[in-house]
Amino acid sequence: MRHRLVLALVSLPLVCLLAACGATAGPKASAQHAKAKPKRCRIGSHPVGSSRFAVAAVVLKRATAYRRPGRKPFASFGHLNQNDYPTVFRVVSAIRRSDCTPTWYRVQLPIKPNGVEGYVRARAVRLAPVRTRIVVQVSKRRLTLFRRGRPVLRTTVAVGSKATPTPTGSYYVNQRLVPTDPSGPYGPGAIGISAFSNVLTGWTQGGPIAIHGTNEPWSIGHPVSNGCIRVRNPVLRRLFADTPAGTPVVVLR
């Protein structure tokens, strides 16, 4: 994106990891709890997420990504990205100890090549639950928003042209930005996803892909963009409100 964007202030909810949060146990429950055996887990990697929910990992101060846990690092991330938005990953799986404590998370990263994954230490991030998912069908020019596995919005979109196609694959929402000019080419907002153009490699920040509004409503339904996914401005406002960072985005042909 070449136009200057400013940060949209959006809070990311924390995951409650404590059993019976806020509940007060009576004497009988306390006695039963005292006799309960410690929870045990199979040591190793465990998948995280499903079609109904996903988990985002928000970098606390700094997170280093490894090809394998504890091996040579290949990328490093601060708490904020280059647009001053909190750095977010999508959690793919967790490596747990026998007491079920996570030590590493395998995450999808917001860098090139598209879809790259790595391992980050569990203590370097905090988790946030995500109940939404976006599916884009490029050939049908259609976007569907799911909440808890159920479709709640279907809309027609503009997609990349033949020369600058929208890259297909599995991504996630990694930032949400507000343009300085809401009447400009991005409309009232841009939902950045962890994908990059495979063609416009010389663009600022490597040619990131976004779902954004438009000042050319006639373009909706046509393959005319530089790779981004355009929606009508009222739809963008709803997506902006309903899709937190970490929302999976699947782009199909």
Q: Where are the alpha helices (DSSP H) in 68-212?
A: none
Q: Give the DSSP letter string of 156-193.
A: E-BEE-SSSPPPPEEEEEEEEEEES-TTSTTTT-EEEE
Would you call 212 a catalytic residue per the annotation?
A: yes
Mean pLDDT of 147-152: 97
User: Under DSSP, is residue 218 helix (H, G, I), strand (E, B) or coil?
Assistant: helix
Residue 45 predicted with pLDDT over 80: yes
DSSP 3-state percent helix, strand, coil across the chain (nearest 5)? 10, 45, 45
Residue 97 predicted with pLDDT over 80: yes
User: Above pLDDT 90, what percent of the chain?
Assistant: 76
Q: List, in order of start, the domains of the chain with CATH numbers.
A: 38-130 (2.30.30.40), 132-252 (2.40.440.10)
∠ CA 206-156-167, rounded to 5°? 25
Q: Looking at residue 116, what is its pLDDT?
A: 98
Q: Looking at residue 205, what is its pLDDT?
A: 87
- Distance between alpha carbon 190 and the CA centroid of its chain, in Å? 14
Instruction: Work out the mean pLDDT of the chain and round it to a whole number.
Output: 88
Q: Looking at residue 203, what is its pLDDT?
A: 82
Q: Render pLDDT for 162-201 as a digit per residue (tens, 0 to 9).
A: 999 999 999 999 999 999 999 999 999 999 999 999 999 8
Mean pLDDT of 5-28: 37
Q: Looking at residue 40, what is its pLDDT?
A: 76
CA distance 144 to 156: 9
Choosing from 16, 46, 79, 228, the catalytic residue is 228
Choosing from 16, 41, 46, 212, the catalytic residue is 212
Mean pLDDT of 147-161: 98
CA distance 212 to 219: 13
Q: Looking at residue 6, what is its pLDDT?
A: 41
Element (H, E) at 70: none
CA distance 149 to 91: 18
CA distance 37 to 30: 13
Q: Looking at residue 51, what is its pLDDT?
A: 84
Residue 29 predicted with pLDDT over 60: no
Q: Which amino acid is at 167?
A: P
What Å distances lie between residue 159 and 137, 178, 214, CA to CA?
A: 9, 20, 12
Q: Render pLDDT for 192-226 as a digit per residue (tens, 0 to 9).
A: 999 999 999 888 888 999 999 999 999 999 999 99
Would you call 228 a catalytic residue per the annotation?
A: yes
Residue 107 predicted with pLDDT over 90: yes
Mean pLDDT of 98-118: 96
